[in-house]
Amino acid sequence: MNYNLRIQCFKATLFKMENQLFLSFEQIMPILEEENFIISMAQKNMDNIEKQEEAKSQHKMIRCEFWTKMISEVNITKCKLYQKISPSNESQLSAGFGISGVLFRCITTKLSIRVELVIGRQSKEDNKELFYFLYEEREKIESKFSRSLIWERMDNKKMSSIKVEKKNLSIFDREDWDENDRLLKDNIAQI
């Protein structure tokens, strides 16, 4: 039913009355009463799928609009990381800055927004060494931020990250956009 297919099974009975033949059809699957229920459930499921697809499309349009606004606002600051980056309809936007395997990533969700420095070079050892070097300068680095940084060495993974995150901000709530932009703009420049 999810694909607009209806499968029915009929019992055909042949009758003979004098010299005439009669064919009788009786639906045996699904039982007629159940068929109406199944059809209504299938229609409800199709409606839900259509609503989900519509929401996904709407989310992609909102993200693209948000990133367009954010990129234009970041590009008028002294930070030029996003000058050659195009808006995306995804939940994150990344930019490199000249060190192979190290990039800035802005991530927005329905529940939070964050800016992170991702250390994801080829070698796990190089990543941990670079993270440790930055971690040793932690006090000096954090003094430039208005909020505390989250330092994630992630020993069981190849990459490490340093991020700033704010909860209870949503890309899908336009009233949060100014605060989202401010957080991204300020922290991209500082990182």
Alpha helices for 31-137 (secondary structure H)? 32-75, 124-136
CB 109 within 8 A of CB 155: no
Q: Which of 17-31, 95-109, 111-125, 156-170 has the lowest mean pLDDT?
A: 17-31
Query: DSSP labels for 85-99?
Result: PPP-SSSEEEEE-SS
Considering the entire predicted model, what is its pTM? 0.65
What residue segments make up the domains of the chain, in order of their start? Answer: 56-190
pLDDT tens, residue by residue, 104-156: 898 988 888 888 999 999 999 999 999 999 999 999 888 887 678 999 999 99
pLDDT tens, residue by residue, 54-76: 878 888 999 999 889 888 888 88
State the burial class of residue 46 (Cβ atoms within 10 Å of its Cβ: 0-12, 13-18, 19+). Answer: middle
Pairing of the two strands 102-108 and 150-152: unpaired
- Residue-level pLDDT at 135: 94
The rounded distance, in Å, linking the Cα atoms of 63 and 174 is: 11
